[in-house]
Amino acid sequence: MTRIFLCTNGCVEGQLRTKLVERYLGAHTRDVRVTQEISDADTVLFYACGLTNEKESHSLDIVRELKGKMQPGAELVVWGCLAKQNPQAFAGIYDGPLVGPLDTDFFTSIPGSNGISLDAIDHSAAENELATMAAPSIHGCSGTDLVTRALLLYKRGVDLFSPRRVNHSPIYYIPIAVGCTGHCTYCSERPAFGNTIHSRPIENVVSELRSAMGQGYARFSLVATDLGSYGVDIGCRLPDLLDEMLGADPSGNCSFLLNQIEPHHLETIYDGMVPAFDSGKIEMVMSPVQSGSDRILKLMGRHYTAGQWRALMLDIHRNHPDIRLNTQFMVGFPTETEEDFAATLALLDPPFRLDELHIFRFSPRPIVPASRLPDQVPDEVKEARAERLLSRFARNCI
């Protein structure tokens, strides 16, 4: 019997894919057993993240760590995003197979498998079923000053008693699509997922929702590379899916978190989203603005202005004040000046109310076009701007 150990340092999407493969190997293959102890494994499957240079370095460190913990004669298989993003990074430390996140034929061809497609396995999972080896951070920042930490802690306390308080019951993650049709010049995910959308049929998503409700879950986070492009490949859109999901909950006890809706897609489907917003069951909307500078957004290959994004968020806040708003910023994009960064800071100013944010520093990955732009921003400037942005967010929350 082959014993397999699985792990990842990836995001929620990577964790869900790792759990999917674990379920497949554990229940749909003969002579294969999933083990929780690496020292007991004949094969180790590691889903490696390569989103940024920092993530790549962490993935390579984990490869070295895993090789040191594996039993003699055990096989290591690296798969996931980094395997497609920068396979050359493994030179000198790993010479085994490199399997992309969508290369599911690798797993269904394992000796002893019964030929069942991974599409037939539940893709969803509760947060307590997922795990990552990635280090925790505060809104994407590894270090913050004491005042900012204190303000964020105070905000957390206020949120507990606010009418818009955060629900802390367990989240159940439901992936609905992978892939993106965008051409953002900083994106390192395109080599891993391609430029096409792969949407899951509405009936499959709703079936997993019903199953999770039957287990007692009531909070659901929809996961996709770009939630707003859901359904363009199968003749429907996100509002259609939400209508079916809300209809599957006659008790009205469920709430939904909408992650990663690109602003230009949100603008396109906005009118269709209003019934879902009106239902009172949308808990959070996350739409990544990236920058407050229209010049930088154009260089990024984004298809909206900062003003368009802000207008959408303000409209949600004014008409649906119970919905929490979340976004993602990127600091230090090539040629970003203090004036550009000031425009990003200004997005946080009243009357706008942002509940959460995540901050990325631009990472000059070898595969992204923006890495070849002039006037690359020094790392120390990126770090300082990330901390200033988080500090501004914390103070404006108060």
Residues paired with 327 in a beta bridge: 357
- The Cα 388–Cα 386 span in angstroms is 5
List the end-to-end C-alpha distance of the chain, in Å, as a whole number. Answer: 58
pLDDT in tens, 19-55: 999 999 887 777 788 999 999 999 999 999 999 999 9
Q: Domains along the chain?
A: 2-122 (3.40.50.12160), 146-397 (3.80.30.20)
CA distances from 81 to 8, 61, 367 (A): 11, 16, 13
Find, among 151, 5, 168, the residue nearest to 77 by Cα. 5
Q: Which two tokens stand for residue 22?
A: 């674990």
pLDDT in tens, 333-344: 999 999 999 999
CA distances from 162 to 119, 127, 134, 171, 256 (A): 41, 24, 31, 20, 19
Query: pTM of the prediction?
Result: 0.92
pLDDT in tens, the chain (398 residues): 788 999 999 999 999 999 999 999 887 777 788 999 999 999 999 999 999 999 999 999 999 999 999 999 999 999 999 999 999 999 999 999 999 999 988 888 776 666 778 888 899 999 999 999 987 766 776 666 777 777 777 777 767 666 665 667 899 999 999 998 888 999 998 878 888 899 999 999 999 999 999 999 999 999 999 999 999 999 999 999 999 999 999 888 999 999 999 999 999 999 999 999 999 999 999 999 999 999 999 999 999 999 999 999 999 999 999 999 999 999 999 999 999 999 999 999 888 788 899 999 999 998 899 999 999 999 999 999 999 999 999 888 77
